[in-house]
Structure 1
Amino acid sequence: MNITKRALIALAGAAALAAAAGMPSAAQAEGKQIVYLSAGLDAPFWRYVSKGVEAAAKEHGYDFVALDSRNNTQTQLQNTQDALVKGASGIVLSPTDSSTAPAVLNLAQKAGVPVSFAGIGTTSGEYVTFVTSNDEAGAYDVGKALAKAFEAKGWKNAEVGMVTISQARQNGVKRTNGFVRAMEEAGNKIVARNEMQTYTADETYRFVQDMLTAHPEMRGIFVQTDSPTLGAKRAVDAMRRGGETLIGAFDGVPEFLPMIEDGSIVASGMQQPYLMGKTAGESVIAKLEGGKTEKEVVLPILTVSKDNMAAILPDLKLTVFAGELK
């Protein structure tokens, strides 16, 4: 899918005000509406995806609505029903996990509404396009960077902990597999794992405190998504382990950049959520308008470290941070 950098920059700044309450827009009146069903819009990643879907919708003259499932399966189903009742033309879905997606697809198929996925896929069902990232390769690269940092400090057979996203999500399994492979190849050992439930910094703070208490020689922690990594950093500092326990991350929030610069985060495998959402939105619109679609689009991970951050910052500002980083 050809998207020029100039066009992306223009789209990043584009935002339309919602229609006045009770007064449908011309697009809605024509049944032209793209709905984004998000796993949880409180997470920066899904907010950036939402902005990408919105950009695609506006570019093609569609109205846009984002509905937040708050990581709850029943809320996700209710949001799906609401979207269909209110005349959604197409849906972009980031499900609470892969196993909950078929129920959404079943409802949408009965209503004749096409669905594309952004970030998290499905275990079964009919859909237009799955837009994903090379999660396993990205996590492997973060693991290699962390292993290299251990080696530079003379730490052999390092003990490492992981705070994972749901392993019922396909992308969660891939991130775990990639990171574990990197650790095993370097002779390091995973000694503790916790799986997120609320995806908050406070939750990961508690996980990491418990890990460091149980494993005082732990040399590294890999956190599989953005804001929870900030909780890991807070726990490392509270336990006075700065410099003794290194952090590898996935995805990105603006707060990561100074932390990467000062070495608090060794590396982060950043997906490109704005581009992911825009691509998924365009695939649904192409389906509606008789255009060509692809079953799967795999976007590259930008593995960001102190060594390359300045060079790729212009790309990060748009495709990762959706124009929110000035």
Structure 2
Amino acid sequence: MKKFMYTRILIVCSLLFLTACASTENGEGSSDGNETIYFLTKVLGNQYWSVVEEGANAAAKELGVDLVVTGLANEAEVEKQVQQLQDAVSAGASGIVVGPTDSTAMANPVSEAFQSGIPIVIVDTMINTDDYSVALMTDNVEAGREAAETMLELLKNRGISESEEMKVGVQIGASGSQTIIDRLSGFNEYWDLHAPDTWQVLNEDIKVNDGDITKAVGFTQDMLTAYPTLKAVFGPNNGSTVGFVTGLMEANRTDITLVGFDFSSEIEDMIRTEAYDVATILQKQYLMGYEGVKQAVELARGIEPDQKVVDTGTMVITKDNIDDPEIADIINP
């Protein structure tokens, strides 16, 4: 009897062992909902990135995974983001979602993390390496073209003469961001093809505010003083746009056309104030955060994405469409 029972135990143990091996070889058994996803945002508390974070949190809750969020005080803290990435790898992250603050400086660290076997999802800003799993972002060159086209329409609607000499001021959050580089490229490409020769973009005097709103407001004030023929300003990221909005409204400069990016309470106030000439390019950042975490979880569970780079799309917000239901669905997902 004892021998019979011993034999039965051996058979059961063998079956359990074989089942476990088969499960491992097939990539099954990893979708137990215990994954930990790290989300490396850019600037903590920034309105744009707060919405990205909301999307990330929603996906984590829906999928039943843990989400660890880290971020920066400003976009100049590149070394800090490198360290945060390395910490996530050391902690054994199931997947990492990152909005690179510098596309070049973050390239090697991201590549090393990817080569270690951890799924890497890039959001908002492209990285200068192919070593990542999937990227979710705006087509930033096209968005830059869209911004230039919108500005030209606004200026012409204001009645600015094509023979009049005028300047367009620009400030950016970070010089190393591929997102900003691409938006400026698209903007200048469209401008050079369609704007009068007398309408000059101040590309030789682009200000870098490091995502610091106080700096951005100061740069706005400097431009208003330095360039008497300034007629328009372009902010290719959220912080720069908010800086322009604040500076122009404080100075009551209703004679300056603004085209910016993203949406915040400050930008909304300016759009809704009749005297100001303004438009903003609305991105779908909630979708970036939500899909970023979702893709990271699926990758951790062995599910490969359909495509490596996903364009999340944009819309132009003006006084004419700010209350449209389609816009409202993006602003308040």
**TM-score bracket, shorter-length normalisation:** 0.7 to 0.9
Q: Which residue of 1 aligns with 2:260?
A: 249
Alignment counterpart, residue 177 of structure 2, candidates 151, 169, 189: 169
Q: Deviations over 1:164-218 (max 9, x none)?
A: 2323222111211222234331212113542424212211112122212121121
Alignment counterpart, residue 229 of structure 2, candidates 210, 217, 221: 217
Q: Which residue of 1 aligns with 2:56?
A: 53
Q: Deviations over 1:97-133 (max 9, x none)?
A: 1112223324423542111100112111411101110
Matched, 1:283 2:292: no
Matched, 1:41 2:41: no
Alpha-carbon contact 1:84-1:108 (below 8 Å) kept:
yes
Matched, 1:314 2:325: no
Alpha-carbon contact 2:107-2:129 (below 8 Å) kept:
yes
Q: Which residue of 2 aligns with 1:199?
A: 211
Q: Deviations over 1:7-61 (max 9, x none)?
A: xxxxxxxxxxxxxxxxxxxx9x975101101122232222211222222222222
Q: Provide the rounded CA distance (Å) in 2 between the counterparts of 1:284 and 1:30.
A: 13
The amino acid of 1:118's aligned partner reads V
Q: Relative to structure 1, is the Cα distance of residues 46 and 230 closer, same or farther in structure 2, using a 3 angstrom cutoff?
A: closer
SS of the equivalent of 1:163 reads: strand
Query: Which segment is superposed worse, 272-281 or 172-181?
Result: 172-181
Runs of 5+ consecutive residues of structure 2 not aligned to the other structure: 1-29
Alpha-carbon contact 1:90-1:113 (below 8 Å) kept:
yes
Q: Provide the rounded CA distance (Å) in 1 between the counterparts of 2:202 and 2:130.
A: 37
Alpha-carbon contact 2:213-2:243 (below 8 Å) kept:
yes
Query: Which segment is superposed worse, 190-199 or 247-256?
Result: 190-199
Q: Relative to structure 1, is the Cα distance of residues 146 and 58 closer, same or farther in structure 2, using a 3 angstrom cutoff?
A: same
Q: Which residue of 2 aligns with 1:116?
A: 121
Q: Provide the rounded CA distance (Å) in 2 between the counterparts of 1:182 and 1:274.
A: 28
Q: Provide the rounded CA distance (Å) in 2 between the counterparts of 1:79 and 1:256.
A: 31
Alignment counterpart, residue 304 of structure 1, candidates 317, 326, 329: 317
Q: Relative to structure 1, is the Cα distance of residues 197 and 232 closer, same or farther in structure 2, using a 3 angstrom cutoff?
A: closer
Alignment counterpart, residue 91 of structure 1, candidates 89, 96, 113: 96
* TM-score after normalising by structure 1: 0.82
Alignment counterpart, residue 186 of structure 1, candidates 177, 182, 195: 195
Deviation at 1:77, TM superposition (A): 2.2
Alpha-carbon contact 2:173-2:210 (below 8 Å) kept:
no
Q: Provide the rounded CA distance (Å) in 2 between the counterparts of 1:313 and 1:268.
A: 12
Q: Provide the rounded CA distance (Å) in 2 between the counterparts of 1:234 and 1:74.
A: 30
Q: Provide the rounded CA distance (Å) in 2 between the counterparts of 1:269 and 1:230.
A: 13
Q: Provide the rounded CA distance (Å) in 2 between the counterparts of 1:57 and 1:197.
A: 32
The amino acid of 2:265's aligned partner reads P
Which structure has the larger Rg?
2
Q: Which residue of 2 aligns with 1:132?
A: 137
Q: Deviations over 1:125-163 (max 9, x none)?
A: 411101110222223222222222221222134321111
The amino acid of 2:142's aligned partner reads A
Runs of 5+ consecutive residues of structure 1 not aligned to the other structure: 1-26, 320-326
Superposed counterparts of 1:262-277, under 5 Å: 262-263=273-274, 264-277=276-289
RMSD: 2.3
The amino acid of 1:247's aligned partner reads L
Q: Provide the rounded CA distance (Å) in 2 between the counterparts of 1:243 and 1:288.
A: 51
